[in-house]
Structure 1
Amino acid sequence: MTAINPRPSLRPAGMADAAEITRLCAELGYPTSLEDMTARLGVVLSAGDRQVFVVEDGHKLLGWIGVELRTSLETGRKAEIVGLVVDADARRSGTGRRLVSAAENWVRQHGLDAVTVRSNTVRTESHPFYEGIGFVRRKSQHVYFKTLE
Structure 2
Amino acid sequence: MFHREGVVILIRKAFLSDSQEIARLSSQLGYPVNVSQLEERLQYISNHNDHIVYVMESSHVLFGWIHANVRFLIESTPFVEIAGLVVDSAYRGNGIGKQLVQACEQWAAESGFTKIRVRTNQTRSDAVQFYNRIGFTIKKSQHVLDKEI
> 1:8: Cα distance to partner?
1.3
- What corresponds to 1:21 in structure 2? 22
Higher strand share: 2
**Whole-Å separation in 2 of the counterparts to 1:46 and 1:123:** 31
1:139 aligns with 2:113: no
**Per-residue displacement from partner, 1:53-72 (whole Å, max 9, x unpaired)?**
00002121000000111211
Q: How many residues align?
A: 145
**Whole-Å separation in 2 of the counterparts to 1:49 and 1:6:** 32
Quick one: percent identity of the two aligned structures?
A: 38
Task: Give 3-state SS (helix, strand or coil) of 1:84's partner.
Answer: strand
> 1:6: Cα distance to partner?
2.3
Task: Give 3-state SS (helix, strand or coil) of 1:76's partner.
Answer: strand
- What corresponds to 1:46 in structure 2? 47
Q: After TM superposition, where is structure 1 displaced by more than 6 Å over at least 4 residues in a row?
A: none
- What corresponds to 2:130 in structure 1? 129
Tell me whether 71-80 or 41-50 shows the greater mean CA deviation: 71-80
> 1:20: Cα distance to partner?
0.4
**Whole-Å separation in 2 of the counterparts to 1:121 and 1:38:** 29
TM-score, normalization by structure 2: 0.94
User: RMSD in angstroms over aligned alpha carbons?
Assistant: 1.0
> 1:7: Cα distance to partner?
3.9
Q: Which amino acid aligns with 1:89?
A: A
**Per-residue displacement from partner, 1:24-60 (whole Å, max 9, x unpaired)?**
1111111111110100100011111000000002121
- What corresponds to 2:110 in structure 1? 109
**Whole-Å separation in 2 of the counterparts to 1:91 and 1:49:** 28
> Unpaired segments of 5 or more residues in structure 1?
none
**Whole-Å separation in 1 of the counterparts to 2:6 and 2:123:** 36
- What corresponds to 1:59 in structure 2? 60
> 1:108: Cα distance to partner?
0.1
Q: Which amino acid aligns with 1:120?
A: N
Q: Which amino acid aligns with 1:8?
A: I
